Amino acid sequence: MSVSQPALTPSTVSRRRFLTVAGAGVTTSALLTMLDARQAPAQIKGTTLRILQWSHFIPAYDAWFDNKFVKDWGDKNGVKVRVDHIPHLELPARMAAEFAAGAGHDIIMNGSSILTRLYYKSLADVSDIYDSIGKKRGGWIPTAKPLVEVEGKQYGIPMFYILLPMLYRKDLFDANNLKAPDTWELARVAARTLKPKGHPTGIQFSQCADANLNWRSVLFSFGGAETDPSGENILIDSKETREALRFAKALFDEGMTPEVFSWDDASDNRFLASGVGCWIHDAISAYRTTEDTNPDVFKNTYIGMEPAGPGGKRVSTSAANVYMIWKFSKNQPAAKEFLVHFMEEFKDGMVQSRGYNMPYLLGDAQKPMPIIGSDPKMQILQDFPKIVAFYGYPGPFTTPVQEVVNLFVLPDMFTRVARGQSVDDVMKWGVGEYQRIFSKHKRA
């Protein structure tokens, strides 16, 4: 038996290339070792780190983040950190401006509209810390990776997501012998029963972020989907979508008033806090608003599991939030170091956000979670990580889906049906919009 020997060829590695590769290897391994040992690399000392993020819905979180969390980390590592806050709706415009200028912050946050696929060529590859954080904290929830991954590399660190569970008035349900809204059908029955008694329900039939999230929860729980898992093929034209549209029409006719056509993201908070609404499907900021403004209503407001669709499926479409590092950032080591620290101390953030920030890391999603694990009414939220989905589910948040989201195509489909257009007409319009957007991106 002969063993073929590989032909010996003269080395083509130049001295310069050897030094470059070896240098990069040593730097990466040193960074990983330091990250592993939780010791900041000395080279970040004396540098400045600039972070751009939203103004949190829980103002106390921003105060803690800016004045305590960031300051402590900066003092410990000798890094001067500046945090700028802007409204979440302005983040995409600001990102476009910083990209065009090739300058700005080192770390930039994406909220709800995750723009990884649009900007990945200009973002730093953070696969190294994505993997190391995941390994250390029990792995990421399955839907986290598609948010930040392009061509096998990760260009962002999922920071937290925001759930939109059912918030319902248990006193009204009990007084009318209604079951908790564990399914969309039970929610509809409750709305039908309580609207004539002055307690309608409401979900935004308008062009706002919550409408995009809520109607996707309904669609996905009914078994519908916008695309296949690859994100390439449109699946919106299905009997499940038609079912979901019919359901929405019935829910509107029987249980809502026309005010839902004008609602923004905060209208349902006020609707619940005013004591009028029998249930809403919203983030727990609504629960907290009620706690602060109407204690009597708050006492009777309970949080329910994501309602199941006709087939028993539950999908909770949540608002994703991701940190990214610009490739043009001159302080990438400090930025990475900060993000690792942020994820390691995630539970502090969860406490400060009063349970608003939900964890992407399975290690942090273990029961009991801070705040929500100790509050009897909020404990149910600990079961959500299993059913959480984001835009594009079951596929990634691709650029065509991003355009569909930003043009509010899906909420418009539901709105048109609620306003009286036939399901067939609306499907024709909606499918046309999806096809037009997807084909345009394919051509590009």
Partner 1 sequence: MTTASLHGGPEPSARAAVVSAPARPAERMWWQSHSAQRKTFGYTLLAPAALYVLLLVGAPFLFSLWLAVSDANVGDPVAHFVGLENFRAAWEMDTFWIAFRNSVVFLVVAAIFKGLLGTSLAFLLLQNFRGKKLIRGLVVIPFTLPIAISVLSWKWMYDSQFSVINWVLSRAGLIGSYGSESWPVWLGQPHLALAACIAVNVWRTFPFSAIVLLAGFTAIPLEVLDAAKVDGCTFFQRFRHIVTPMIFPILMIGFLFDTVFTLSDLSVVYLLTQGGPANASKILPVLAYQIGIQAGNLGRGAAIALFLVPLLLPALILVLRNIKRREW
Tell me which residues touch partner 1 (CB under 8 A). 92-93, 95-96, 99-100, 113, 115, 117-122, 198, 200, 205-208, 257-264, 267, 270-271, 274, 276, 399, 402-403, 406-408, 412, 415-416, 419, 429, 432-433, 436, 440, 444
Report in angstroms how near the CB of residue 96 gets to partner 1 at its nearest: 4
Toward partner 1, which CB reaches closer, 358 or 410? 410
Toward partner 1, which CB reaches closer, 81 or 95? 95
Give the residue from 346, 391, 366 showing the smallest Cα distance to 219. 391
d(CA 154, CA 407): 27
Report in angstroms how near the CB of residue 222 gets to partner 1 at its nearest: 21
Report in angstroms how near the CB of residue 226 gets to partner 1 at its nearest: 15
Toward partner 1, which CB reaches closer, 33 or 406? 406
Report in angstroms how near the CB of residue 345 gets to partner 1 at its nearest: 31
Report in angstroms how near the CB of residue 367 gets to partner 1 at its nearest: 37
Long-range contacts of 176-184 (CB under 8 A, 24+ apart): 180/302, 180/304, 181/279, 181/304, 181/307, 182/304, 182/305, 182/307, 182/308, 183/307, 183/308, 183/309, 184/218, 184/221, 184/222, 184/247, 184/251, 184/307, 184/308, 184/309, 184/310
Report in angstroms how near the CB of residue 202 gets to partner 1 at its nearest: 9
Toward partner 1, which CB reaches closer, 121 or 246? 121
Report in angstroms how near the CB of residue 259 gets to partner 1 at its nearest: 3
Toward partner 1, which CB reaches closer, 298 or 429? 429
Measured distance between the N- and C-terminal CA atoms of the chain, rounded to whole angstroms = 55
Question: Residue with structure tokens 């629960």?
Answer: 287
Toward partner 1, which CB reaches closer, 272 or 315? 272
Toward partner 1, which CB reaches closer, 23 or 196? 196
CA dihedral 145, 146, 152, 155 (to 10 degrees): -70
Toward partner 1, which CB reaches closer, 1 or 444? 444
Toward partner 1, which CB reaches closer, 266 or 351? 266
Report in angstroms how near the CB of residue 326 gets to partner 1 at its nearest: 11
Report in angstroms how near the CB of residue 340 gets to partner 1 at its nearest: 25
Toward partner 1, which CB reaches closer, 64 or 120? 120
Report in angstroms how near the CB of residue 282 gets to partner 1 at its nearest: 15
